[in-house]
Amino acid sequence: MQFDTTKINNMILNTGRDTNFSRAYIVEEKETRVREAFVEKLASILECEETDSALRPCGQCASCRQIAKGTSMDIVHMEMTGKNSYKTEDATEMMERLRLGSYGKHVIGIIDDADSLTEIIQNKLLKTLEEPERGVVIILGSSNKSRLLKTIQSRCITIRVRDYTEQYEDESAAEMLCEALETIMREESFFYEKRNVIAKNIKTRQDAEKLIGMLEDEYRYNMIHGTMREEMADMIDIAEEAVKDIKRGMDYSKALKRLILEIQ
């Protein structure tokens, strides 16, 4: 899944000019995996140290790399300790951490599946939204924002993920990229199989960059939800290096071949 970072940056800059801007977002998307990937992208853009907003997230600064590896001290997730819902203590713990401030540009509190928040917890959250501490950003992930209190909704900028998703030119192009991605991700596939699929389906530099972006998203998802965090972080580094190679002028097919050799 590729997100329109230019559009996201413009949204942040435009809403940032509003004096009533509470530095809080509701990220609305039904598919959990897509929503979580977007939240990570949004957090990376907000934290990125690149001075040119058009280049955020740069993927190279310390903040971007820490977020990609899941080691950022400024990203605070509300932990769900209840069986199927958040407890009041979960909210209290996150709020206490947010009040301590940031190490970088912001300290970002992330609440995924915010639809599970009880009315008591949402009202507790309201105080932070109404009187935000300096440098604090709140991101609530939701499959349907109508399940949140109206008072919460009114104090947040709503982002519908599909509005910030880059669309491929046609369905067949997307299918071809997905086929190439699935083949690369299959561990039992031989190098020559992966090479042949890439040669068949990746016809332009833009296709190559989109494919690598999809691969990075897969590795980040696996890193967040799996157990091989260090291995996935290494894979992300390899993918980022392939993008650098292409931008330095290396032929995209050669960069992709080197990529799949290193992740075999």
Position of tokens 């209290």? Answer: 92
The amino acid at residue 184 is I
Averaged over successive runs of 10 residues, the pLDDT of the chain (264 residues) comes to 82 62 81 87 91 87 89 91 86 90 87 90 88 86 90 91 69 63 70 74 79 79 70 83 83 83 76
Position of tokens 């190559």? Answer: 208
pLDDT of 226: 65
Q: Coil, strand, or helix at residue 34?
A: helix
User: Residues 29, 35: contact at Cβ < 8 Å?
Assistant: yes
**Domain definitions of the chain by residue range:** 5-164, 171-263
Looking at the chain, which runs of residues are DSSP E strands?
24-28, 75-77, 107-111, 136-142, 157-160
| Rounded distance between C-alpha atoms, residue 36 and residue 3, angstroms | 12
Identify the CATH number of the domain defined by range 5-164. 3.40.50.300
pLDDT of 174: 57
| Rounded distance between C-alpha atoms, residue 76 and residue 67, angstroms | 11
